[in-house]
Structure 1
């Protein structure tokens, strides 16, 4: 989006002028994260999580490259190379634990980032492409994290790979050949480990490419904001630098403190104990679970226990597991409300906080619990509401609810008064009158 009041990049030094003419990288940076990029003045701390996600991606790439220097993708020595890196390589333990906990931190940040978008309607026009690219990034993260979980070649790595790749066998006709093609054989072995290592190393750089597109798509319409009202004037914005660079800097400092505590004091808190045992194809763990960030979708997978006519339960579970993420692609068209932010949608706001959020909490819990009652039944109920929320509740509520009046501008939402403006109602909302123009108002 073009802001006529945005600061223009004007290099003064002769070298910078030459650089701007031949390779305008400084101009690109200035316009992307500098004073040349105005952002809404009312952004809260939930908007810091996009930048924190970029920090997490950087941590994963840097620590992953160092780990790859000491790793051997061979089933005979893979487990030992991880242990040797932790014990014998200088600062190897820091790289290993930062990489392992960095994956969890990355997903924490991304989950908050996604649900911020769901609450504030960041997926709605004109930012549909920003949202769609974000969902692609999430899918790439899931694939990268799964392949990375296999690499230590512990008990949970081996059996997790066997279970997850076995899901492809549920696909009619092409399932088993596809599963064998993915593994390079009939069971996880050297071929599978080499393939997963290669893809685990490659996919983060693919994610970087999609992140660039994600940021590029964001800069076309500009950032969303908690009110959902578009920028109308210069008073609605402030330059990204120095204001939001400082705000992001504070968030990075808080994140670094929490992340350091996890790495230095609780490095194995989120790791499964069985994965510190070398892989043994002849010994099945009592309870096979993926990493915690897969639990909601794993719970949906296990919620299907009965065949539906000619459709096997396993196939239905696989379709539902992937469908739980794919449904996000259609949110810009499922949500027909003219109002973006749930702050001004009283009916949908209740469904979000008392429907979707508790449902996700139940799915997280049941995904890490044993596949027995009452967890299976809870998973089924939670999965039912999860899909109903996006496919039924969201379209119906968005079509019939009466939203609250929106502020005329971002400035008015911050300061309570925007000179020369009045409150403008949302489409379908009750006409709102500015306090100073209300009947009976006295100075």
Structure 2
């Protein structure tokens, strides 16, 4: 979620975009084309890419090299890690996350999409919707990315045939219609040739929807509208600042990032999980005092009363849909490890700034990516599978449903033996029972 901006006709703030789709559908090439045609790369960068393309024997400039930065990515011609690229036009700033298409790197796709305002699902016009296309669309839906745009790439390889695009678009819209997808749109393009990416293409006069960049420049997000519209205030505490000497020895502040809503001096707040109530005495940033802190700002809060606050606690606006304190969670989990997730498995759960021990109480269902039906007899999750999981926690967490607030409604699961991230979860419900692990 981005800091609210004063949107005008010439400045619509920042749009975070995540690419998705199957391997070799052209995600990296599309981002390279956006960077090139919007003049967001330097001449020496382009010269280096052109030289590498010639060395590989290509008769064209391999624009994917602009984003595939790892040596192993360049050698194999695939995307492994999430590559972030930044560029701007006179109307908007963009943060592009080029995410991997391979099934084994689904965890990286989830990382790139977790903070996105818009997801681009690329499909090769020759192959149509694939299982990985469906998997990524489901994940974008579960992550509640506000906008999903279908991009049918490589139209030049099917003779710019309108019927091919129409068939893929209709199949995608039918699939997305069964998901919780707020808005969808579709564009036929050729990232390699530049058709309909930055400028409308003469090769597809039957498409009247303009270019993809036009869409990206004008799509509206909540942050563009400058409205936090009743979103409850959330501030996970990262660090307690209390100098022990000098003129600031009586200072006590709590550093962190505003994850949702706004905080103002004099506002009544509650510190959770303790439940202590107080007011905000001051808001500091780099030695300056503010009257208000908004979403995505990193600030230091000073409280009017000397209450016990530690890292992992959460400051919330009092009386405005306060979060729940719980030791049991029901969540949709995307499993990212080669070993299965099973009942009684012990894991670490990291939620905002707090990490606790957790035990899997059970798997209640597993989602079929193709049919979107839930297998109620499932008891485990394998690599890249998605299911509903109940977890018991060693300590209470302060949470919201993911549908209400993405940042305080999400978590990651960690293997306690290796420290590797093995799952990502979106909280759907809680229980108040007190469990011991």
Question: TM-score of the superposition, structure 2-length normalised?
Answer: 0.27
Q: Which has the higher strand share?
A: 2
**Which protein is bigger by CA-based radius of gyration?**
1
Q: Which has the higher helix share?
A: 1
Higher relative contact order (CA 8 A, sep 6+): 1
Question: TM-score of the superposition, structure 1-length normalised?
Answer: 0.26
